[in-house]
Amino acid sequence: MTQTAPPDGHLTVRQAAFIGVGSMVGAGIFALLGAAGEVAGAAVWLSFLIAGIIAVLQGYSFARLGARYPSAGGLLEYVAKGFGDGHLTGVTAWLTYSANAIVTAMVAVSFGSYASDMFTDGSGAWAKVFAAAVILVMTAVNIVGSALVARAQTVIVYVVLGILVVFAAVTIADMKPSLLAFSGYPSLRDIVSSVALTFFAFLGFGIITFTAKDLAAPSRELPRAMYLALGIATAVYVAIALGVFGTLTVDTVVSSGGTALAVAAEPSLGRAGYWLMSVTALFSTAGATNAGLYPAAGLSERLAETGQFPALMARRFGGRASAGLLVQTAACLVLAVVFKLDAIASIGSAVALLIFTLITAAHFRVRGETGARTALLVLAIASAGGVLLTFVFSTLVHERASMVALLVILGLSVALDLGWKRVRAARPAPAG
């Protein structure tokens, strides 16, 4: 079916969905297979399916909220509707801002690693140069405007999905069913534990809520974009997991790490398969960096309007460059260039799960206004909360550095909110 052109300055449902797909189908699928395989074995495809169902439950909540309260503030607007504009909403705002910077920086680092391996000697210095470069280029794209973001994202997503579909088809055609036999699966507890890892690959879907301001009819189009993006991502992840673990043994996938997709492609496509998947990784991580930076401007402006962020965050330099976007860019550059993100990459997932649980809890309080089904909201809260608890007690308790990083992020978010609101309260009221 041909989609009619949207009014000038508006995104189509497909473009909004592709911003979400581009954010989701980023570094996650390239980096997660080995780690998930260590826990779930060949049942990683089932882990992705469960994670997709949990994401759809959250997506239902977000879509109903977005249809009722379309705003550039996206998911933070939803927290405010349920809990008001107090400290809980402010802390959640800073958590969202910091988590987005961490995930975007990690994706950029992944881009730098692939680019360094392909075009240089693979040194860490070049990886940081490429990571910084992709952040700066995608910041420029976002400064130009949402229309260019959408066009760039559409091209990137078409290329990435096209290659991944070919990869999945080739590997599934050559897979050995015995490698996926149920008799070789670990316990259900291990499979559920791995969902905390595979859910990371779906974190980007929340970015779709920030497209509401750019849709012609957000109450109708935002839910469609949300479900389309989650459906595409889930299908791609499950197909890739089946292809990889149906072609390679679990031990081979685990030892291959981030190159598992390239290794799985080699039996059918030879050395060309390695280059094909490396190019896909570059497009995918570039698209995820682009989509990760997208919410910064609208989020900062909306939160400055409601008093959650300082007014400076809403300032536009030269009439185009958002201060909120530039601050996000600076944070991403520092994280990508100065820090090793391996130890704190999982923190992005933990913070996001906490945010998603809070948003749906806020939704529960205003469900009468959105028309959402109580049972589905309860299920969404229970599933996200359950994954978070599983993640904390099965993974973070054994990773002291990650636990410390999580506590630092939580503490910094609380301090920023309390500090800003204390400054705001101390200012004299304007004469009127």
Q: Which pLDDT band holds residue 263 (cuts at 50, 70, 90)?
A: confident
In a domain, 7, yes or no: no
In a domain, 60, yes or no: yes
Burial class (CB in 10 A: 0-12, 13-18, 19+), 75: buried
The tens digit of pLDDT for each residue in 61-71 reads: 988 888 888 77
In a domain, 10, yes or no: no
| Domain housing 77 | 16-421
In a domain, 2, yes or no: no
Nearest partner of 194 among 355, 51, 59, 343, judged by Cα: 51
Q: Which residue has the tokens 């081979």?
A: 252
d(C-alpha 113, C-alpha 408), whole Å: 27
In a domain, 427, yes or no: no
The tens digit of pLDDT for each residue in 78-92 reads: 888 888 878 888 888
For residue 302, what is the domain's CATH number? 1.20.1740.10
In a domain, 11, yes or no: no
The mean pLDDT of 412-428, rounded to a whole number, is 84
Q: How many domains does the chain have?
A: 1
In a domain, 1, yes or no: no
Mean pLDDT of the chain: 82
What pTM was computed for the model? 0.78
The tens digit of pLDDT for each residue in 96-142 reads: 888 888 878 888 888 888 788 788 876 678 888 999 999 999 998 88
